[in-house]
Amino acid sequence: MSMSRAKKLTIIVCGVILVLKIVFILSPTPAFAFFNQFVRPFIYATLALAVYVFLVPDKRPRPNEYQARMVALITVGMYGMVFIMVVYLFGGGRNVHQPGTWLHFSRAAWSWGTIVILGELIRVRLIRATNNNATIVTWLTLVLGVGLVIDARAFIRTEVLTGSAFFFGSFLIPMASSIVASLFALKGSLLGAVLISGIFNLTASLMPLMPHLQVIPWTLINLCMLFVSGFMLHIFTNNTAILHRARLRRAARYEKKSPLGYAATVGFIIVAIAFFLGYFPFYPVVILTRSMTGTFDQGSVVFIQRVPSGEAFTMVGEGAIIHFEANNMEWVHRVIDFRHDDQGNRVFITQGDANYLVDPFVVRENDVLGVAHNFLPFAGWPYLFFRVLLRGPIA
């Protein structure tokens, strides 16, 4: 009887939330504020109350609830560190200059915050009452995710958002966070579901220092963090895998270690250290500024081919990107011309691809360190983050 009642309540909840979303999108502008601030929270509260009144509480302990809570708290800490790092690298304050910022924050905290909390109460109770029924979990995941799509009204009614911006910034994150929140609900962790759904859906509305980053890269960063959170939840709550790994670790203590394996590990470490210290014909350089944006974005790791002393003019042509020293600093800029200095020596004229002006110095042959080739985007972000912490903002 309880299972049948839970399924009926699930159908009612999903139907009401979908109708509520349609009304939210189509509601006239004069009634929008009242509907958003009072009607929707009241209906969500009514649904949550009905679920808690008509369903017998399941008080059986969940074996992995504690681990799920810890994973959720780790995810919050990870999100905070990544957020701070991105703000350091790209600047913050995107929301500060919006009109009525603090009033907007308070309204968003009430309207969307109550919906997140009540929605997760509904999710966890219904999933528990239906014994983790896959169909119920799927419908709740989809419907509660749709209920958190923030900009659907603006996109459909005024078309102020492009299709890609809406998909990545306003649709993909709520749906992905709803999937991960359902995974936490399956483990019985209400706190985990609330934290995951709240931090990934409310940050854009509640954080006054949102990073100056385009929608798609910021969305991809959030999706990566959601994936890591779900993966950690699977690892830490998979009892079979945990026991299997423990057995393997115990067995490995008694296995004879191969000298070849030790040699390979030591050799790899030595080669990696030598590469990063510059003992190879190619060496890595982290792009610190935005002067080469469009070619090498800030935070990219560029691989430089070393140029022997006195051979720069034979190896470097016009249009090449070189790594050089000038004004007691290192630069990675493009060669745009050659000329002769006051002593009649041939020198390079350089400019950053994103700069409007030519560099206010000339580059002599002996100042050229190498020629840039391939690169890895974003790979230098950890270096940038710690450099900013230790030395302050990059000019």
Which domains are assigned to the chain?
Answer: 2-244 (no CATH), 282-391 (2.10.109.10)
Q: Which residue, chain included where needed, has tokens 């528990």? A: 128
What is the rounded distance in angstroms from the CA atom of residue 332 to the CA atom of residue 304? Answer: 10
CA distance 52 to 31: 30
Q: Are 82 and 221 in contact (CB under 8 A)?
A: yes
Structure token pair of residue 96: 């500060």
Q: Going by C-beta distance under 8 Å and a sequence separation of 6 or more, which residues neighbour residue 20? A: 40, 43, 147
d(CA 384, CA 332): 16
DSSP state, 60?
Answer: P
| Predicted pLDDT at 1 | 46
What band does 160 get if pLDDT is binned at 50, 70 and 90?
very low
Choice among 18-32, 147-161, 205-219, 258-272 with the minimum mean pLDDT: 147-161
Report the distance separating Cα 203 and Cα 200, nearest Å. 6
Q: Give the pLDDT confidence score for residue 358 in this predicted structure.
A: 93
Backbone angles phi, psi at 339, to 5 degrees: -160, 180
Q: How many CB atoms lie within 10 A of CB 358?
A: 14
In this predicted structure, the answer to whether residue 312 has a pLDDT above a threshold of 90 is no
Q: Which residue has the tokens 């950890």?
A: 382
pLDDT tens, position by position, 93-122: 666 545 455 666 677 778 778 888 999 999
Which residue(s) pair with 283 in the sheet?
304
**What average pLDDT does the chain have?**
80
> What pLDDT sits at residue 207?
64
Question: pLDDT tens for residues 17-76?
Answer: 888 888 877 777 777 778 878 888 899 999 999 888 888 766 777 778 888 889 999 999
